[in-house]
């Protein structure tokens, strides 16, 4: 079985006890903690900043933190999140003044860079860049709000990017972000994803362990 990774998005967690919530999903079997960072400019919502990332590190969270920047401009927050303890930092190519320079900035600060692809964005932005990144994020909802339904057209994008990753020979993670639940995770995995971001699909359930075990059981059937 592929090395699938489950990444709960804290956007759906209870922020009044965020440290405990993150500990609980990690204890329940999650692999990565996902941050949806929105600036009320690039997308019409405002969420968390680097202080929350730093707070989780200070709380004792050692798991990889995957920061998805839905912001413009990008570069200042790259530095801030890197200093706050991010592991992966992904951004939208449309939001960067210079995509390659932003990728190099992320690397300069010892983080792993990723590119996030919106439902309506062409995959052309990945041309000649797969060698420089560690993560591709396929958005299966429109960025800006949690709790949306999965967009089926993202499955073809997953297949196309997976082929490119295989051709590159590089161990790039292929992440799907949006609308992931236990009842669709197996089908999405079959189309090439190996990292699954799930917000309400995990935090909106009563028993995180049972939910993640259900997801793992579905992934074992791929």
Of the candidates 62, 3, 2, the one whose C-alpha atom is nearest the C-alpha of residue 33 is 62
- Contact of 173 with 134, CB cutoff 8 Å: yes
Residue of 31, 36, 39, 194 marked active site? 36
Angle at 147 between CA 45 and CA 48, to 5 degrees: 40
Count of other CB atoms within 10 angstroms of residue 183: 11
Alpha-carbon distance 83 to 65, whole Å?
12
In the annotation, is 127 catalytic?
no
In the annotation, is 177 catalytic?
yes
Alpha-carbon distance 153 to 22, whole Å?
31
- Contact of 70 with 144, CB cutoff 8 Å: yes
Residue of 31, 66, 177, 194 marked active site? 177
Positions marked active-site: 36, 177
């Amino acid at each position: 079985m592929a090395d699938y990774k489950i990444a709960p998005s804290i956007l759906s967690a209870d922020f009044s006890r965020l440290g405990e919530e993150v500990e609980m999903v990690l204890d329940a079997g999650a692999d990565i903690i996902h941050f949806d960072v929105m600036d009320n400019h690039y997308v019409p919502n405002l969420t968390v900043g680097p202080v929350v990332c730093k707070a989780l590190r200070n709380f004792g969270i050692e798991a990889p933190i995957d920061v998805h920047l839905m912001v413009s401009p990008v570069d200042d927050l790259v530095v801030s999140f890197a200093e706050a303890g991010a592991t992966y930092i992904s951004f939208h190519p449309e939001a960067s003044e210079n995509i390659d320079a932003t990728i190099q900035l992320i690397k300069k600060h010892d983080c792993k860079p990723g590119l996030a692809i919106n439902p309506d964005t062409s995959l052309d932005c990945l041309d000649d860049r797969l060698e420089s990144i560690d993560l591709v994020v396929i958005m299966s909802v429109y960025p800006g709000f949690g709790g949306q339904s999965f967009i089926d057209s993202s499955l073809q994008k997953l297949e196309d990017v997976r082929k490119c990753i295989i051709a590159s020979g590089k161990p790039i993670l292929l992440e799907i972000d949006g609308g992931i639940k236990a009842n669709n995770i197996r089908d999405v995995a079959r189309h090439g994803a190996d990292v699954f971001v799930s917000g309400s699909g995990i935090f909106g359930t009563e028993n995180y362990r049972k939910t993640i075990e259900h997801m793992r059981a579905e992934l074992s059937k791929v």
